[in-house]
Each structure stands twice: as structure tokens, then as C-alpha cells.
């Protein structure tokens, strides 16, 4: 994670990401871990995390957008230091985001862009 930019940022990102500061909750069987998202798009996000996730792992998350909780799964694409926040973490891609949750996410992102 010594690079400031990764293959994920340079090659794999399909949608522009917006800078945010949103709490996300990583949900495991018996625990919850709180992390900050420092950028967000319809395709994924960067989650700030000191200890790296395993690349390829699928993680369950929740986050609140404008007072509404959305639950989703994310696939860890890469671990790196974010150019947006200069903090270590992971690039995560949404997996099987249902239409209702996708609509909430799109509404939130559209509001941020204005």
C-alpha cells in the first residue's frame, strides 16, 4: 500500500467518484466495524481502513444516506493509499445492489453533484 495511485484507480474505475465523508458499518457474524468512506460512485467506493481487506473478499456493509439506511455487499478490488484522503484503505465495488438501494444511492449522488 505504498503507492498513492493503484491499478484500481488508473484502470478499473468506470464511474467518477465524488468526495464524501460517510460512515459505513462493516457487518460480520458477531461484530460491527465503523469506517469512513472518502469517495463514492454508483459502482463503488473507497473505504478508509488501516488493516487491509483480502482482495477479492465480499463484505457486508450498511451506510446512511440522507437519513435512510442502505444495506449492500461489496467486493474488495484493491488496497492502496487514497489520493482523495491520503489514507490507507480499499477500493470496493458494489455487488448485487438491488434496485431500491441503487435508486437511493443515485438520488444521493445526484444531490451531491448539484
**80 within a domain of the structure (yes/no):** yes
Residue 7 reports pLDDT greater than 60: no
Which pLDDT tens digit goes with each residue over 40-93? 999 999 999 998 999 999 999 999 999 989 999 999 999 999 887 889 999 999
pTM: 0.83
CATH code, domain with 31: 2.40.10.220
Residue with cell 460517510: 22
Provide the pairing of β-strand 44-48 with 88-95: antiparallel
| Overall domain count for the chain | 1
Which pLDDT tens digit goes with each residue over 18-47? 999 999 999 998 999 999 999 999 999 999
Residues 6+ apart with CB under 8 A from 103: none
What's the count of helices (H) and strands (E) in the chain, helices before strands?
Answer: 2, 6
Residue 9 reports pLDDT greater than 80: no
Q: Which domain holds residue 52?
A: 7-108
**49 within a domain of the structure (yes/no):** yes
Please, are residues 100 and 88 in contact by the beta-carbon 8 Å criterion?
Answer: no
**94 within a domain of the structure (yes/no):** yes
Amino acid at each position: 500500500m505504498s503507492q498513492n495511485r493503484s491499478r484500481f484507480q488508473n484502470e478499473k474505475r468506470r464511474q467518477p467518484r465524488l468526495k464524501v465523508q460517510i460512515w459505513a458499518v462493516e457487518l460480520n457474524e458477531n461484530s460491527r466495524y465503523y469506517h469512513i468512506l472518502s469517495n463514492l460512485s454508483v459502482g463503488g467506493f473507497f473505504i478508509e481502513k488501516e488493516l487491509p481487506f483480502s482482495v477479492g473478499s465480499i463484505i457486508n456493509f450498511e451506510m446512511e444516506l440522507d437519513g435512510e439506511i442502505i444495506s449492500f455487499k461489496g467486493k474488495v478490488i484493491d488496497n492502496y493509499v487514497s489520493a482523495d484522503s491520503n489514507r490507507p484503505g480499499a477500493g470496493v465495488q458494489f455487488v448485487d445492489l438491488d434496485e431500491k438501494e441503487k435508486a437511493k444511492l443515485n438520488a444521493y449522488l445526484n444531490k451531491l453533484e448539484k
